[in-house]
Amino acid sequence: MLSLRILINVLEHSSILGILVIGMIFCLLAGRFDLSSESTLGFSAIVGAWLVSTNIHFGSGWLWPPVAVVLLMLAMGAAVGCINSFFIIKLRVNAFIVTLAMLLTLRGFTYVFTNANTMYDFPESFMALGGYSISGMLPVSVILFLGLFLFSQFVLSYTRFGRDLYAIGGNRAAAFAAGIRVDRQTFAAFVISGMLGGLAGWVLAGRLQAVTIGLGEGMVFEVFAAAVIGGVSLSGGKGNMMGPLGGVLLLGVITTGLSVMPISSFWVDAVRGVLILAAVVLWRITEIYEERWRKSIP
């Protein structure tokens, strides 16, 4: 029973990271990436908290229905994805520059919007997804997290959209020549990433029952680490959902384990950094050997 409880704790603490990783994988498979997902999480959570908080000192006082607020948070995430894809696809600006600028912009808006306040006093229904458990044992966020991974794997394996993403990431020019709507599918990948950022913001706000200005900061590095550890290529066209699921759980085990050990919290960041470096090096070594193997085939 104790081991089961530990496993559920790891899954619960990994659920937010896992949701963001799913969105990142869609972008990576198309040969792109989204650095702004952590700020999308933070900003959507702040706006949602402001709209539903019953505290007179920092709430909006409008007391929007939680369902409407959640839909707005998802729409905000989708809007971020639309803006990112517009600059990347239509204006041909580098994805790193665009999504980094979006990350900084949303983070700045979050600081200004909250005036450094922590928001709390949310309705029970707003905290349901992040705070409720089935029979007091299995958190709803874990079910959502695992369900999204399985559904996303199905999409990648058995739908045209998934096959198109692999083709686009593998060879964009060839995919275009084959009649694949490259821009539209890449646009969809960024919208999915943005919406999942908004969803993660809702889940995390519900779990913590409070929203701070630093919500989600630094998570993008863990997102990349989980994806690369799970075998997703940074150059696009390679990978699936099951490998990164293992990467998410590995990071969750390490974070949970280090957090209960009598050591400085800074070691957690150090270990994460080493993991990211090791994952990138391993990915590059694997690609080098794959290239040599292909050249050796007559």
pLDDT digits (tens, 9 = 90+) for 100-152: 999 999 999 988 887 777 888 898 889 888 878 887 778 999 999 999 999 99
Q: Tell me if 175 is assigned to some domain.
A: yes
- Is residue 53 in some structural domain? yes
Q: How many domains does the chain have?
A: 1
Query: Is residue 190 situated within a structural domain?
Result: yes
Contact 145, 11 (CB under 8 A): yes
Phi, psi of 280 (to 5 degrees): -65, -40
Cα distances from 234 to residues 108, 121, 128, 147, 165, in angstroms, run 28, 41, 35, 25, 13
Is 133 among the domain residues? yes
Under DSSP, the state recorded for 33 is -
Residue appearing with tokens 């983070």: 107
Q: What is the pTM of this model?
A: 0.92
In a domain, 120, yes or no: yes
Question: 113-127, pLDDT tens digit by residue?
Answer: 877 778 888 988 898
**Greatest alpha-carbon span in the chain:** 73
Backbone dihedral angles phi then psi of residue 62, each to the nearest 5 degrees: -85, -25
3-state DSSP percent of the chain in helix, strand and coil, to 5: 75, 0, 25
Q: Is residue 104 part of a domain?
A: yes
Q: Measure the CA–CA gap between 281 and 232, rounded to whole angstroms.
A: 13
Domain of residue 66: give its range.
Answer: 2-216
Inside any domain, residue 249:
no
Q: Is residue 230 part of a domain?
A: no
